[in-house]
Chains A and B, each alone.
Chain A
Amino acid sequence: AQRVTQPEKLLSVFKGAPVELKCNYSYSGSPELFWYVQYSRQRLQLLLRHISRESIKGFTADLNKGETSFHLKKPFAQEEDSAMYYCALSKAGANSKLTFGKGITLSVRP
């Protein structure tokens, strides 16, 4: 069965501090991994996908198949990064359903 684990519910940091949001997964096969973000009173939106290998809003995430992890990182957090973050996976190479983690609230204090 496929599963996404986000072990922490809340991460609170000061502005300018580094951020790492953890995500581990279990999946038999090669999944596609995503990070979604939900800002206050806004819809869930795609932040980044592992196959794109992009940096969005200063965030990066590297897929580590050995550790089955896809941690989200940013070297210097900004107040506007405060939001709910969800890690998700789907079957690779096909347009298929997403399996989400429970999410983590990131709070960046001034």
Chain B
Amino acid sequence: GAGVSQSPRYKVAKRGQDVALRCDPISGHVSLFWYQQALGQGPEFLTYFQNEAQLDKSGLPSDRFFAERPEGSVSTLKIQRTQQEDSAVYLCASSSLRQGGAFFGQGTRLTVV
């Protein structure tokens, strides 16, 4: 497909478990963003990649959160030792360098029990 693809769509994790969330951006999009959306809130920025370089990770809430994009295409957001407050929808977005705004994936809904 032509859009941003995220997997899995839903993930239930036991507290303390590690999880990995995947994002396939639109082909050719240089920029890739991760956002976290808690229930009833707007998306909040986590981290930003330009190609394989992670240029901004100021939004990552703790050192349990780690993101990578080793070949400048697919990205993975990893959360170690998940906690209940990590329960949220994790959104990935991509865009070309010249374009403002971004195209979003459908998100991964993470529930930590």
Interface residues of A (CB under 8 A from B): 4, 32, 34, 36, 42-46, 49, 51, 86, 88, 90, 92, 95-103
Asked if B104 contacts A99 (CB within 8 A), the reply is no
Interface residues of B (CB under 8 A from A): 3-4, 30-31, 33, 35, 40-45, 48, 50, 56, 59, 91, 93, 95-107
Most buried by B among A86, A88, A100: A100
* 8 Å CB contact of A95 from B35, B41, B100: B100
* 8 Å CB contact of A43 from B31, B44, B45, B107: B107
Asked if B42 contacts A95 (CB within 8 A), the reply is no
* 8 Å CB contact of B101 from A34, A99, A101, A102: A34
Asked if A98 contacts B107 (CB within 8 A), the reply is no
